[in-house]
Amino acid sequence: MTDIKQISGGVCAPQGFSGAGIHCGIRKNHTKRDLALILSSVPASAAAVYTTNLVKGAPLEVTKKHLENGIARAVICNSGNANTCNADGIEIAETTCELLAKELGITAEDVIVASTGVIGQRMSIEPFKTGIPVLCAALGENNSALVGEAIMTTDTKLKEAAVEFTAGGKTCRLGGIAKGSGMIHPNMATMLVFLTTDCAISPEMLKKALSSDVQDTFNMVSVDGDTSTNDMVSIMANGLAGNAEISSEGEDFESFMKALNSVTVYLCRCIAGDGEGATKLLECSVTGAKDRSAAKTVARGVICSSLLKAAMFGADANWGRVLCAVGYSGADVDIHKVDVAFRSKAGTVKVCKDGAGIDFSEDEAKKVLSESEIDILVSLGDGSAPATAWGCDLTYDYVKINGDYRT
């Protein structure tokens, strides 16, 4: 199995990819970028997964149609307006693709289009008409951070990653950017994530890899229990690394999956840790489950508990809220076998054994839970299957941010 090397460059790290991010006038704040572009110099295999919310943003519908052939050249994404629940939403998304295609000399069907921002707000095509030529002129091979900034909404931190790996004896690269801070809940993929790679892989295997990976990564992230209308994860693979195309399972496919997972897990942690108003990243690690399904159900149940999230904000080792979440999660577990512990860089404190409380130091627990990254360790004692989910604490600022989101 190939070694994975962390590198810089984000979505522009793989060969043949360039990016740009500008302010075009969609957002009122002129200091914030609101239009992003990722371009592959050659046609690329492409795949995407989308929100399961019945209310879907118009760009998702257009992108689904464009990716039916498994090929793409570019991603364009705006922030500040979700282009959702608009009568002319599809027309706006399609026109955006046509404007970009004309400027770049590609076909509109090879464009992945996405939007993020306020739902139900009318969108004008004018900022795209004036902004797209400027956006294309700004393309550069070191602009991943600018792309990442342009897709941010309530995010406070840039979220990007890139790795280097080997497939077919060739050095390949895979990079990604993400946005997501609120309306994040496991039920598909995630907020918005754009991935690029120069590894040669068929559209069918690319779709298989992405669909499999999101089940254990972005589907295991929750900030607030709300599933967005515009969630999408897309990936383009242009093959410029020169490896023999991955068209079936095997060692090269496993190497690709490992590289993909290293990037997506990193982005998951970034998204969870940057939850709206969050002060702490929470990671729930479940072990000893009967099967993977039970492990994932428990991990999601724990990480989604508002009571537990509030307790973590207050550095309160209220382990009963963990056990409560395990009990209502829907997984078939024997609660009398469950052990619970909290861990951070300050140490580990065991708080529950065989479904019952044990003596522990409240002062030590307070110290452990006062760190910015907390591991919630749940052992079910029923088997050997593990799962991990990510979330954040629930703070006063979450309510403040969402109390006046439109302003």
Examine the domain organization and report whether 99 and 227 are in the same domain: yes
Rounded CA gap, 194 and 151, in Å? 10
Domain boundary among 249, 273, 297: 273
Domain boundary among 241, 273, 305: 273
* Total tally of structural domains belonging to the chain: 2
Contact (CB, 8 A) for 388 and 220: yes
Please report the pLDDT score of residue 53 as a whole number: 67
pTM of the entire predicted model = 0.86
> Over 70: is that where the pLDDT of 186 sits?
no
DSSP 220-249: GB-SSSPPPSS-EEEEEE--TT-PPPB-SS
C-beta neighbour count of 342 within 10 angstroms: 25
The one-letter code for the residue type at 41 is S
The token duo for 319 is: 């382990």
Give the CA angle between residues 316, 318, 320 to the nearest 5°.
Answer: 170
Examine the domain organization and report whether 322 and 255 are in the same domain: no
* Helix H or strand E encompassing 400: helix 396-403
Examine the domain organization and report whether 263 and 286 are in the same domain: no
* pLDDT per residue as tens digits for the range 64-97: 999 999 999 999 999 999 888 888 999 999 999 9
* pLDDT per residue as tens digits for the range 254-299: 999 999 999 999 998 888 877 666 789 999 999 999 999 999 999 9
pLDDT band of residue 402 (cuts 50, 70, 90) is low
Examine the domain organization and report whether 263 and 300 are in the same domain: no
User: What residues are paired with 167 via a beta bridge?
Assistant: 170
pLDDT band of residue 121 (cuts 50, 70, 90) is confident
DSSP 135-187: HHHT-BTT-HHHHHHHT-SS--S-EEEEEEEEETTEEEEEEEEEE-SSS--SS
- Return all residues near 58 (Cβ < 8 A) that are at least 6 apart: 83, 84, 86, 89, 90, 92, 93, 115
Here the CATH number for the domain that contains residue 81 is 3.60.70.12
Distance set, CA 207 to CA 33, 50, 70, 246, 380 (Å): 30, 12, 9, 12, 33
Examine the domain organization and report whether 308 and 334 are in the same domain: yes
Out of 160-174, 219-233, 342-356, pick the least confident.
Answer: 219-233
Examine the domain organization and report whether 370 and 246 are in the same domain: no
Examine the domain organization and report whether 208 and 125 are in the same domain: yes
DSSP 318-373: -THHHHHHHHHS-----GGG-EEEEEETTEEEEEEETTEE----HHHHHHHHTSSE
Please report the pLDDT score of residue 188 as a whole number: 35
| Residue-range definition of the domain harbouring residue 353 | 281-403
Catalytic sites, residue numbers? 190
Examine the domain organization and report whether 120 and 183 are in the same domain: yes
Here the CATH number for the domain that contains residue 388 is 3.10.20.340
Domain boundary among 243, 273, 303: 273
